[in-house]
Amino acid sequence: MTIKPDPYAIIPRADFDIPGKSHGLIDVVRWRYLLNLLVRTGVTTRYRNSVLGWTWSYVRPAAQFLVFWVVLGIFMNLDKGIPNYAVYLFSGIVVINLFSEGFKNATTSIVGNAPLVRKVFLPRQLFAVSAVIVAFVHFLPQVGLLLVVCLLMGWIAHISVLSILAVLAGMIIVMVFSLGLGLFFGAVNVRFRDAENIVELMLLLATWASPVLYAWTMVEQAVVDRLHWPSWLVELYLLNPITQGVELFHYAFWRPASEGMISAAGYAGKGMIELPPNLGWNTLWTFLIAVATLLIGQFVFRRLEGKFAQDL
């Protein structure tokens, strides 16, 4: 009787992967074909069976901008000392929208894909990463609309290389930060669904905790001048990655588009706001904070992902 040789006998056991073993975010690169499929699915299905379709990517931020501009800019006079307040407001709103959509969708990505998580093994980080990338895709039409408005206001005449770099830095900081938070709360949300409510509260505060609707100097005046609290609280406020992302977009879009108005005599001596000090150093520090958040989120995610299938 002939004994057939085992074809796998010559393969070292060390070359086999343990089923269910994850390599973290490295698997996102290794499984990039699946990441591409998830992104395409997320982009194409968002407005499925919708009459307006991709037009909603313009309508929603436009409606949000109009409400804030009318209520805060016209009724409450928060535009005082801020030339070209409409561009100032909208350039901050698009950053908040990128963070909000990426963070929220990443938080619910595991629970939303429960059938896949329960039945087959695949790197679960793919769901959170794809959610942030889909948010970035939906963010692009808003930036395009902002760019068109700025071009009509003479933005191109005052643009610089630093402005372009500021846009890229702002997007990277916000996306990395939202991914880190999304991994953390997405993992916790599988066991405790209260995480979704916590995220909703955080997103509600995010718009007001960053200089989107107001100037950062108002925070400085309130904290230092009126309350007489230590000035390092203002520095801590400016080290919020979302605050830094908003200010980088102000530097890239609002500042060049408003250059003529800023230099006009009508704004001289009226307390016209300035960009925060140490904007370059704060960009570095907030990037490191965003990376640290990503590492913490990845650590918590990997510690909890082994029980995702059972908890779902």
C-alpha dist (Å) from residue 183 to 87, 111, 130: 32, 12, 12
The pLDDT score that the predictor gives to residue 133 is: 92
What's the one-letter identity of residue 67? Answer: V
**What angle (nearest 5°) sits at the alpha carbon of residue 28, between those of residues 282 and 309?**
110
Retrieve residue 291's tokens. Answer: 């990376």
Examine residue 10 and state whether it is found in any structural domain, yes or no: no
> Hey, CA dihedral for 283, 166, 270, 73, is it positive or negative?
negative
Task: Domain count for the chain, please give it.
Answer: 1
Examine residue 282 and state whether it is found in any structural domain, yes or no: yes
The pLDDT score that the predictor gives to residue 6 is: 61
Examine residue 15 and state whether it is found in any structural domain, yes or no: no
CA nearest neighbour of 130 among 38, 41, 23:
38
The pLDDT score that the predictor gives to residue 204 is: 86
Contact status, residue 43 vs residue 139, Cβ threshold 8 Å: no
Show the domain range for 91: 23-46+53-311
Retrieve residue 284's tokens. Answer: 């570095």
Examine residue 67 and state whether it is found in any structural domain, yes or no: yes
The pLDDT score that the predictor gives to residue 160 is: 82
Contact status, residue 54 vs residue 47, Cβ threshold 8 Å: yes
Examine residue 17 and state whether it is found in any structural domain, yes or no: no
The pLDDT score that the predictor gives to residue 271 is: 46
Examine residue 276 and state whether it is found in any structural domain, yes or no: yes
Examine residue 1 and state whether it is found in any structural domain, yes or no: no
Q: What tens-digit pLDDT sequence spans the chain (312 residues)?
A: 566 666 656 656 555 555 555 666 777 777 778 888 888 888 777 766 665 566 666 677 777 777 777 777 777 776 677 778 888 888 899 999 999 999 999 998 888 877 877 777 778 888 899 999 999 998 988 888 888 888 887 777 778 888 899 999 999 999 999 999 999 999 898 888 888 889 999 988 888 888 888 888 888 888 888 888 888 888 999 999 999 999 999 999 888 877 755 555 455 444 456 778 888 899 999 999 999 999 999 999 888 887 777 766
Examine residue 4 and state whether it is found in any structural domain, yes or no: no
The pLDDT score that the predictor gives to residue 220 is: 86
